[in-house]
A = this chain, B = another copy of it.
Amino acid sequence: MKSARLPSWREGETRESLLAFLDAVEDVAPADRVVIFDNDGTLWCEKPTYPQVHFFVSELERAVATRPDLAERSEYRALLDEDRAALAAMGIGRVALALVELFEGISPEAFTGRVERFFADEVHPARGVAYRDLLYIPMLELIDELRARHFSVFIGTAGGADFVRAISMKLYGIPPERVVGSKVIYEVDRVDGRLGLIRTARLDGDPNEGPAKLPGIQRQIGRRPILAAGNSPGDAEMIEYTSTGDGPTLGLLVNHDDAEREYAYTSEAGTFDAAEPILDTAHRLGWTVASMRDDWLTVFGDAT
Contacts and interface: CB of A to CB of B under 8 A. Distances in A.
A222 B165 contact: yes
Contacts of A162: 222
Number of copies: 2
Nearest to A162: B222
Contact of A177 (B178, B183, B237): B178
Nearest to A112: B223
B241 A214 contact: no
A194 interface: yes
A186 interface: yes
Given A175-B152, A177-B177, A241 B161 contact: no
Nearest to A168: B222
Contacts of A176: 221-223
Nearest to A109: B224
Nearest to A204: B219
A266 interface: no
Contacts of A195: 214, 237, 240-241, 244
A190 B67 CA distance: 50
Given A194-B244, A214-B197, A244-B195, A222 B177 contact: yes
A186 B215 contact: yes
A270 to B, nearest CB: 19
Contacts of A186: 214-215, 218-219
Nearest to A176: B222
A179 interface: yes
On chain A, which size bracket covers the interface?
35 or more
A7 interface: no
A222 B161 contact: yes
Contact of A185 (B109, B154, B197, B215): B215
A234 to B, nearest CB: 14
A24 interface: no
Contact of A197 (B169, B205, B218, B220): B218
Interface in A174-208: 175-179, 183, 185-188, 194-197, 204-205
Given A176-B222, A183-B219, 15 more contacts: A108-B222, A176-B221, A176-B223, A177-B220, A177-B221, A179-B222, A185-B215, A186-B214, A188-B237, A195-B240, A196-B241, A197-B214, A204-B205, A204-B219, A219-B219
16 contacts: A31-B175, A108-B222, A152-B175, A154-B177, A177-B178, A177-B221, A183-B219, A186-B219, A187-B215, A188-B214, A188-B215, A188-B237, A194-B244, A195-B244, A197-B215, A220-B220
Interface of A: 31, 108-109, 152, 154, 161-162, 165, 169, 175-179, 183, 185-188, 194-197, 204-205, 211, 214-215, 218-224, 237, 240-241, 244
Smallest CB-CB A-B distances: 8 pairs: A176-B222, A186-B215, A165-B222, A188-B211, A195-B241, A195-B240, A188-B214, A177-B221
